Amino acid sequence: MSTYTIINPTTETAVRDVALADIAQTDAIIMKAATAFETWRKVNPGDRARLLRKFAAIVDDHIEELAQLEVLNSGHTIGNARWEAGNVRDVLNYYSAAPERLFGRQIPVPNGIDVTFKEPLGVVGIIVPWNFPMPIAGWGFGPALAAGNTVVLKPAELTPLTAIRLGELALLAGIPEGVFNVIPGKGSIVGERFVTNPIVRKVVFTGSTTVGKQIMRGSADQVKRVTLELGGKSANIIFANADIEKAAAGAPGAVFDNAGQDCCARSRILVERSVYEKFMSHFESAVKKFRVEDPSLDSAEMGPLISAGQLARVKEYVPDNSEVAFQGSKPEGPGYWFAPTVLTPKDESDRAYREEIFGPVVSVLPFEDEADAIRIANNSEYGLSGSIWSRDIGQAVRVSRAVEAGNLSVNSNSSVRYWTPFGGYKQSGLGRELGPDALDSFTETKNVFFDTQA
């Protein structure tokens, strides 16, 4: 059996070895999930709700343990990691209300009664990337289980530890064996098998746009359902009438949080030309103050990158002749560190400006007026997230309606709230997660007509 050695990205030392599943093992677990589906779907709604609430309570009892595990495995700041574990709890609690509220409709028709049912799909495959191992897993398995599906979940090879632990906690909560299965392994083996094995009825994929396209192509063979959450190159648009100090103070966190390894990172800052100098001077002091340090410290705002490979990829985007305006700091010694870096490209054709870097690198461009800001923001193949800073309410409404992205915030940089839908326009994805409608992507609508004529 092949194994993978987990490396702590802060110290570059080995943490432990994890066994990787092969195709036969993957198929066996998928089969187990299919068997478990036959009983899980019939668990009555109140009992299924209670089990999910119990799972949430057990996660809550283990927040600190899960958070420490994520610091060790992924180099996340401890503050973020606690939030991430808490998010799994919250998502489970939120969707624990669903089994008892999975309403269909009664639709007026002639000569009978017409009723719709929301039926579970069966086995759902969830493929998780390494950037937010806990929340992204939970956004899939929470609503999937609530709707009566069973789950096979593949964590990223680099970051399986919290997912493995969540699998154990589910059993501790009384979720029956086979309902929630975590399968550590390679994307090209386990992930690919979720696409090709016909027992898996749906694939939820979060990761790179390149692999997302492969999943979509592969799923076509069986008309398999897919939800895709892919890359981003989101714009942080700052108008002259905005609170410039506040926008500048928040801008480092909006892109350098999680070392920039965030699909919602505001990695393009667009600033109205008349306030460009003012913004840059406040932004520079905020970047220089941004605390890049040992992520286990409560004060840390940014830790290392996930791997030597990711560090090398990020470095490629900042060659020696780059237009670097200024940089933040990084610790000396071991760890995959990259200092927060602010680029001022000449124009929109610049590669670092256009491509998703997934590291702590941001490009700043000036714009002339509202129409110019909208044009520049939309000149991207991506459309996931973004921020609009303006004190003019009409302008904030106009621009938020015009920007082609699934998740925008006005005078704020928040992207994810589990109560509201999350997902991308264009090549940032397909479908929406979270919020009140997420159950729709984990159910089929079945329509039944009852003839009532004598």
Q: List active site positions.
A: 229, 263
Is the Cβ–Cβ distance between 97 and 48 less than 8 Å? no
If the CB atoms of residues 77 and 443 are measured against ligand NAP, the closer one turns out to be 77
If the CB atoms of residues 76 and 118 are measured against ligand NAP, the closer one turns out to be 76
**Secondary structure class of 199 (helix, strand, coil):** coil
Q: What are phi and psi of 32, to 5 degrees?
A: -60, -40
Shortest Å, Cβ 435 to ligand NAP = 18
Q: Which residues bind ligand NAP (CB under 6 A)?
A: 127-131, 154, 156-157, 186-188, 191-192, 206-208, 211, 214-215, 229-231, 263, 313, 356, 358
Is the Cβ–Cβ distance between 226 and 259 less than 8 Å? no
Q: Please list, in sequence order, all residues whose beta carbon lies within 8 angstroms of the beta carbon of residue 370, skipping any fewer than 6 positions away.
A: 239, 395, 398, 399
If the CB atoms of residues 199 and 297 are measured against ligand NAP, the closer one turns out to be 199
Query: What is the token pair recorded at 420?
Result: 């509201």
If the CB atoms of residues 178 and 191 are measured against ligand NAP, the closer one turns out to be 191
Q: For residues 265 and 279, give the distance between their C-alpha atoms in angstroms, rounded to a whole number.
A: 19
Q: What DSSP designation does 302 have?
A: B
Q: For residues 441 and 193, give the distance between their C-alpha atoms in angstroms, rounded to a whole number.
A: 21
Task: For the chain, report the end-to-end CA distance as a whole number of angstroms.
Answer: 65
Shortest Å, Cβ 320 to ligand NAP = 22
Using only C-alpha atoms, the chain has a radius of gyration, in whole angstroms, of 23
If the CB atoms of residues 175 and 230 are measured against ligand NAP, the closer one turns out to be 230
Shortest Å, Cβ 387 to ligand NAP = 18
Q: What DSSP line would sit under 57-100, residue for residue?
A: HHHHHTHHHHHHHHHHHH---HHHHHHHHHHHHHHHHHHHTSGG
Is the Cβ–Cβ distance between 152 and 140 less than 8 Å? no
From residue 183, give the alpha-carbon distance in Å to each of 116, 153, 321, 380.
34, 6, 44, 35
Q: What DSSP designation does 227 have?
A: E
Shortest Å, Cβ 37 to ligand NAP = 22
If the CB atoms of residues 207 and 252 are measured against ligand NAP, the closer one turns out to be 207
Shortest Å, Cβ 313 to ligand NAP = 6
Shortest Å, Cβ 268 to ligand NAP = 15
